[in-house]
Amino acid sequence: MGLRFEVRRPAYPLSWPRLHRAGVWARRLQRVSGLVLVAFAVWHVFQVVGAAQDRARLAAMVSTLYHPAFIGLVLAALGFHTLNGLRTVLLDLGLLGSQRQVGAILAAALGTVLLVAAALGWRLR
């Protein structure tokens, strides 16, 4: 019986690794985006309660909500938190292999950029 050798793709290239610690940065962005969303939710609740008694505050809140920078910030946080959260759920369930995680993180980032670009395109048209 002959020996069988397993041929694997070179797992450890001599070249310098790209996108090193992508998962660490994804985790950090997940936390930051989560904090942004919590801050937005708290702000929004206080604004709505205040606007119920004061129409001027309602107008100010709507003005802030439609500001392009505000739309960009909230949707960037919402988009990345959702897509990256979905990635981690798929990872936990074993439905997305750990070897594909860097691609999945990039896809989450790209999806966020597209979401923000589409929203800003709609707002500034």
Partner 1 sequence: MTATERAVRIARTASDGRRYFQTFRVPCGPRTTVLDALLYIHRQLDRTLAFRYACRQAMCGTCGVRVNGVERLACYTLLGAVPGRVVTVEPLRHLPVIRDLVVDFGPFFLAWAAVKPAFTPADQSRAEPAQIPPADPDRQAIDRHRECISCGLCYSACDVVGSRPSFPGPAALNHALCLVLDRRDGAGPDRLRAVDGPDGCWACRGLLACSDVCPKGLAPSGAIEKLKRLIAFGRRWDGVAV
For partner 1, which is the closer residue by CB, 30 or 116? Answer: 30
Does position 7 bind partner 1 by CB under 8 A?
no
Residues 16-35, interacting with partner 1 (CB under 8 A): 16-17, 20-24, 27
Contact (CB, 8 A) for 38 and 25: no
Contact (CB, 8 A) for 57 and 71: no
Does position 123 bind partner 1 by CB under 8 A?
no
For partner 1, which is the closer residue by CB, 23 or 34? Answer: 23
Does position 53 bind partner 1 by CB under 8 A?
no
DSSP calls for 47-95:
HHHHHTT-HHHHHHHHHHHT-HHHHHHHHHHHHHHHHHHHHHHHHHTTS
Binding flags for partner 1, 85-104, as an x/- string (CB under 8 A): ---x--xxxx--xxx-xx--
Q: For residue 114, how many other CB atoms are within 10 A of its CB?
A: 11
CA 45 to chain centre: 23
Q: What's the CA gap between 83 and 105, in Å, rounded?
A: 9
User: From the CB of 26, what's the least distance to partner 1, in Å?
Assistant: 8
Instruction: List residues near partner 1 by CB under 8 A.
Output: 4, 6, 8-9, 11-12, 14-17, 20-24, 27, 88, 91-94, 97-99, 101-102
